[in-house]
Structure 1
């Protein structure tokens, strides 16, 4: 015979406290004495009691659940960032549900509908865009949304990004100062604000030095597409002598094509630079010169902004752009006197 489910009343009776005291012990942020909390947790453990979070949300109006949406995890930047986001939210007493999405509008619509069914307190969108219709649905449901590593032309959305344009401008200046004449770009997915901002900043940086882009291909943030772009760009006599790849993930595959398929020396024949500073960028096999996204700061600002919107739904949305420093390694020639 199945055993009857243990309830908070059973815990309260064994601990010798009120049912409301049991509820407070299992409600993050609620006021309860250390002695009472210890008695309740000992009674709960003895009885095998677990609080029903979803049932409690019907009473409090809060599920303590955050929906985290990401489109792809192949890029080393996102698994690390998602782990940091999950840990930071859990430290604030929230549970995290991760939802995978693609870049197609229909898929994101389906995913968002599923998220809202969970009565989440907030949503973080990482690497995916939100249409104006979906944004309105979230507002109507009273669910705040924060964009992570992405922004949109929507004044109602809060976004936390790196200074993508500023970081790319630094790369352009760095390559010109290093003496490069034929500077190229392998772009990411052109629907991403990160790609648009990085390319715009890179072109502006070249223009400020009296230069223009020598060649351009699209890698779509995909390994095989990036490989093909590198082959088209470099398997010819008038090849570039430097290339800015829109993120580190693609840059690793581009470097492999240059060195192992085309027999080029990096950086003697061509300098390669990227953006993100994911862990493999520091490996000696790549030694990638890149622009660092400060993942810890981005996570900190994202969680802070989301909790602010949860506590105060009328708080003004904001766009937070964090500085992105240039990290110089061995994949690029270095300007004379650099770093002195």
Structure 2
């Protein structure tokens, strides 16, 4: 026989307090004395009571749930970023629901519609492409959304990224300062703003120095495709340096250069990545890379989202945070630079 669910009224009777005191005890931010909280939680534990979060949301209009949608987790940058986003939201008494979505606008729209069914207070979309009318649908539902590590040409959609354009420029300036002129680029997925902006900054700085991009191949942010792009790029008239659009691909590029093509890094070819994920610092890779300021990106994302939730405003913000170039041993180092 199934045991009936314990109610807040039963907890109130056991604790000798009002039913509203039980509600306040389990409502984040609500006022209740320490003595009351102790009595209520003791009674709840004895009875096996668990507050019904969804029922409370129907009454208060706030679920304290944030939907977090992400397209893929192979790239080490995203598990680390999602962990930080989740931890910071939990510190603020928010619960996180993570949804996986394929890297297509149509499928992500479907996932976001599903997220809205959970009565979430807000949505953070990481590494995803969105259709042009999705922000309007979220606004109509009264649910703010912030893009994390992506941006798009929508004035009504808040977004937080690293300064990808400036990062691309820094990589170009570093490689040029090391004396490289035959420079290649292995691109990420063409639909990502991060890819677009990194390449734009990179090629702009090369052009200003009077250097044309020597070779280009697409890795699509996937390790297998990055390996294939490396084989094609180095089959004829190989570059002396390569900028890879993220570390996830750069690891594959390094492995292909060293163990398949028999090239020395950095003696024969310099390699620079983007993100500075934990494995970039491992001795096996020792990757020179642009660091994404993840902590500041997370802090700004949460600040924007919770501000929109608390103030119920449609104010949007677009933030691009500059990060440093982390110089290690995978690229020749210009004179005057130190590791």
| Fold match by TM threshold 0.5 | yes
Quick one: distance in 2 between partners of 1:66 and 1:325? Answer: 30
Matched, 1:22 2:4: no
What residue in structure 2 maps to residue 163 of structure 1?
Answer: 163
Cα offset, 1:339, TM superposition? 4.2
Corresponding residue SS for 1:59: helix
Aligned to 2:285: 286
Quote the Cα distance in structure 2 between the aligned partners of 1:235 and 1:129.
33
Q: Give the deviation of 1:315 after TM superposition.
A: 4.7
1:224 corresponds to which residue? 224
Secondary structure of 1:290's counterpart equals: strand
CA distance in 1, matches of 2:314, 2:135: 16
Equivalence for 1:212: 212
Q: What is the CA–CA distance in structure 1 between the aligned matches of 2:338 and 2:228, rounded to whole Å?
A: 35
C-alpha deviation, 1:286, in angstroms: 0.5
Report if the CA contact (8 A) 2:163-2:321 is conserved.
yes
Q: Deviations over 1:222-265 (max 9, x none)?
A: 111111000000122x1100000000000000111100111000
Q: Is the 8 A contact 2:66 2:120 kept in 1?
A: yes
Does structure 2 retain, via aligned residues, the 8 Å contact 1:152–1:193?
yes
2: CA distance, partners of 1:296 / 1:108: 26
* Paired position in structure 2 for 1:316: 315
Q: Does residue 49 of structure 1 match 2:49?
A: yes
CA-to-aligned-CA distance 1:274-316 (integer Å, 9 cap, x gap): 0000000000101000000111111111111110010112252
Superposition deviation, residue 324 in structure 1: 1.0
Q: Tell me which moved more, 1-10 or 291-300.
A: 1-10
Q: Which moved more, 1:72-81 or 1:205-214?
A: 205-214
User: Which residue of structure 1 lines up, in the alignment, with residue 203 of structure 2?
Assistant: 203
Alpha-carbon distance in structure 1 between the residues aligned to 2:16 and 2:132: 53
How far the C-alpha of 1:3 sits from its partner, in A, is 2.4
The residue that corresponds to 2:152 in the other structure is: 152
1:129-144 matched pairs, under 5 angstroms: 129-144=129-144
Name the structure 2 match of 1:299.
298
Aligned match of 1:94: 94
Using the alignment, how far apart are the partners of 1:23 and 1:118 within structure 2?
21
- Per the alignment, in what secondary structure is the counterpart of residue 21 of structure 2? helix
SS in structure 2 of the partner of residue 235 of structure 1: coil
- Deviation for aligned residue 1:34: 1.0
Partner SS, residue 132 of structure 1: coil
Aligned counterparts of 1:73 and 1:142: Cα–Cα separation in 2: 29
Mapped partners of 1:77, 1:274: distance in 2:
12
C-alpha distance in 2, partners of 1:134/1:177? 44
Q: Does 1:118 align with 2:112?
A: no
Kindly indicate whether the alpha-carbon contact (under 8 Å) linking 1:68 and 1:97 is maintained by their aligned counterparts in 2. yes
**Cα deviation, residue 27, structure 1:** 0.6
Alignment of 1:242-261 (within 5 A): 242-261=241-260
Which ranges in structure 1 are unaligned for 5 or more consecutive residues?
none
Aligned residues: 339
**Structure 2, unaligned stretches of length 5 or more?**
none
**Residue of structure 2 in register with 1:66 after alignment:** 66
Cα pair 2:104 2:129 within 8 Å, conserved: no
Counterpart Cα distance in 2 of 1:214 and 1:106: 36
